[in-house]
């Protein structure tokens, strides 16, 4: 009995330690649970913010796509306006666009640049909207004076497009300005020679002439393929 009494202080101390341990453990568990709740709320808020950003990003992406598609439609429409005034077939600008991309890819341009040229090339003759109908649709050969007026369409087209900061319209401005330059320096309006002519302009010029020769115009019948190829070999 005396021995049991002597053990009581130890038992009491152990009991106190156990109680303190239980309380500490309980407090720790509550702290962890409270922290988990806080983290859960934070995670939920972060997920909501992330989902909102994703939604806004998707909206911006869709809007950008719509702007690009609208821009393409505007360019084809404007190109068709110049074409319709000269009584050319309605598909000329679209054929030139397709030819330009094919030639660009064959030349070695990347897909992005080739597609850029395809979208810009329909504007090559936009300056013709400012050329008088009597000259634009004359069924015979132009006089030297009339030809000088006709040549102005390159500069007029460039002036219409050069102020834009959009890469597509900047490309269209270059094409409009230089698509009548010739590799030998005998073209217009600036008499550029060789590599000084932008590759976009050289490709569009080739596509434009190829399609023009192969289709009937008010001043000539359609050429046969052999005659077209001979023409390019001579040039």
Annotated catalytic residues are 128
**At a CB cut-off of 8 Å and minimum separation 6, what does 158 contact?**
127, 173, 174, 176, 177
The closest alpha carbon to 127, from 159, 166, 94, 98, belongs to 159
C-alpha distances (whole Å) from 203 to each of 35, 50, 100 are 66, 46, 6
DSSP assignments along 183-195, one per residue: TTS--SSS---GG
State CA 202 to chain mean position distance. Answer: 21
State the Cα–Cα distance between residues 168 and 153, nearest whole angstrom: 20
Q: At what angle do helices 199-214 and 225-234 cross, to 10 degrees?
A: 140
The structure tokens 């010029």 sit at: 205
Partners of 217 in the β-ladder = 220
Q: 């202080």: which residue's tokens?
A: 9
Alpha carbon distance 69, 73 (integer Å): 6
Identify which of 170, 175, 168, 163 has the alpha carbon closest to the alpha carbon of residue 68. Answer: 168
């Amino acid at each position: 009995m005396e021995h049991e009494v002597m053990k009581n202080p130890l038992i009491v101390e152990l009991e106190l330690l156990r109680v303190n341990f239980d309380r500490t453990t309980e407090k720790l568990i509550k702290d962890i649970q409270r922290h988990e709740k806080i983290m859960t709320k934070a995670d939920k808020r972060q997920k909501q913010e992330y989902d909102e950003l994703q939604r806004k990003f998707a909206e911006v992406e869709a809007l950008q796509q719509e702007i690009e598609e609208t821009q393409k439609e505007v360019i084809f429409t404007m190109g068709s306006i110049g074409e319709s005034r000269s009584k050319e077939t309605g598909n000329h600008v679209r054929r030139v666009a397709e030819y330009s991309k094919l030639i660009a890819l064959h030349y070695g341009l990347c897909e992005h640049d080739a597609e850029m040229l395809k979208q810009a090339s329909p504007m090559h003759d936009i300056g013709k909207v400012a050329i008088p109908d009597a000259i634009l649709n004359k069924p015979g050969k132009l006089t030297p004076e009339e030809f000088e007026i006709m040549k102005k369409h390159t500069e007029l087209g460039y002036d219409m497009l050069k102020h834009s900061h959009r890469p597509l319209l900047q490309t269209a401005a270059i094409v409009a300005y230089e698509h009548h330059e010739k590799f030998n320096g005998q073209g217009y309006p600036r008499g550029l020679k060789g590599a000084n002519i932008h590759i976009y302009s050289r490709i569009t010029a080739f596509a434009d002439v190829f399609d023009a020769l192969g289709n009937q115009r008010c001043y000539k019948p359609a050429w046969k393929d052999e005659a077209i190829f001979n023409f390019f070999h001579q040039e």
